[in-house]
Copies of this chain bind each other. A is one copy, B any other.
Amino acid sequence: MESSASSIESLAARIDSLESERAIRRLSHDYCLGFDKRDADRFLSIWWNDAIWDIGPPFGRFEGIAGIRRALYEVLWPAWARTQHLSGNHCIDFQSADRARCVSDVDCVGSLVGEADCQLVGATYTDQLERRDSAWRILERTVAIHYFNPVPGMTLSPPDG
């Protein structure tokens, strides 16, 4: 029979893996909420200082937390009047206890500044994640946009108050 000490160690490792997945999904959720609610602190807290955010066309590739911050304030937020991201399908694979890869999908509904018709965007995020000093953050997020198209005649607005 296994000794208690080694059992406890093995249980702790299993819990650590579940907690890591929770932390990794949370980064994805904070990305969506931070971006959509224009909460820069929340959005920027998910990246390592040396992170890369590679959105590709039409937005570009941004390096380092300063580059990501600039992209947010100078490229992305000025382009969108309004967005709603819903992320899901998180497939997380650990390369070690402190490194993981996560592939997930996102549906986004939004309005570009100056355009009446809203857009539907579907994309896949491929993330490289790292745990440093007990905290998980994104080291690299690559965005593959599968479609980015207007819905003819549909304009976004909240219900009348």
Point out residues on A near B: beta carbons under 8 Å: 4-5, 7-8, 11-12, 14-15, 18-19, 21-22, 26, 28-30, 32-33, 36-37, 56-58, 82, 84-91, 103, 105-107, 109, 118, 120, 122, 124, 145-161
Determine the residue in chain B with the shortest Cβ distance to A105: B86
Decide if B29 touches A90 in the complex (CB within 8 Å): yes
Residues of B within 8 A of A5 (CB): 4
State in angstroms the CA–CA spacing of A153 and B103 once bound together: 31
- Decide if the interface of chain A is mainly helix, strand, loop or mixed: mixed
Given contacts A26-B91, A29-B91, A87-B88, 6 further A-B contacts (CB under 8 A): A14-B19, A15-B15, A56-B161, A57-B160, A57-B161, A84-B105
Decide if B4 touches A147 in the complex (CB within 8 Å): no
Decide if B152 touches A152 in the complex (CB within 8 Å): yes
Stoichiometry (number of copies): 3
Residues of B within 8 A of A7 (CB): 8, 12
Residues of B within 8 A of A151 (CB): 151, 154
Residues of B within 8 A of A37 (CB): 124
Determine the residue in chain B with the shortest Cβ distance to A161: B57
Decide if B147 touches A32 in the complex (CB within 8 Å): no
* Nearest Cβ on chain B to A158's Cβ, whole angstroms: 6
State in angstroms the CA–CA spacing of A146 and B80 once bound together: 14
Decide if B84 touches A86 in the complex (CB within 8 Å): no
State in angstroms the CA–CA spacing of A62 and B21 once bound together: 33
Determine the residue in chain B with the shortest Cβ distance to A147: B156
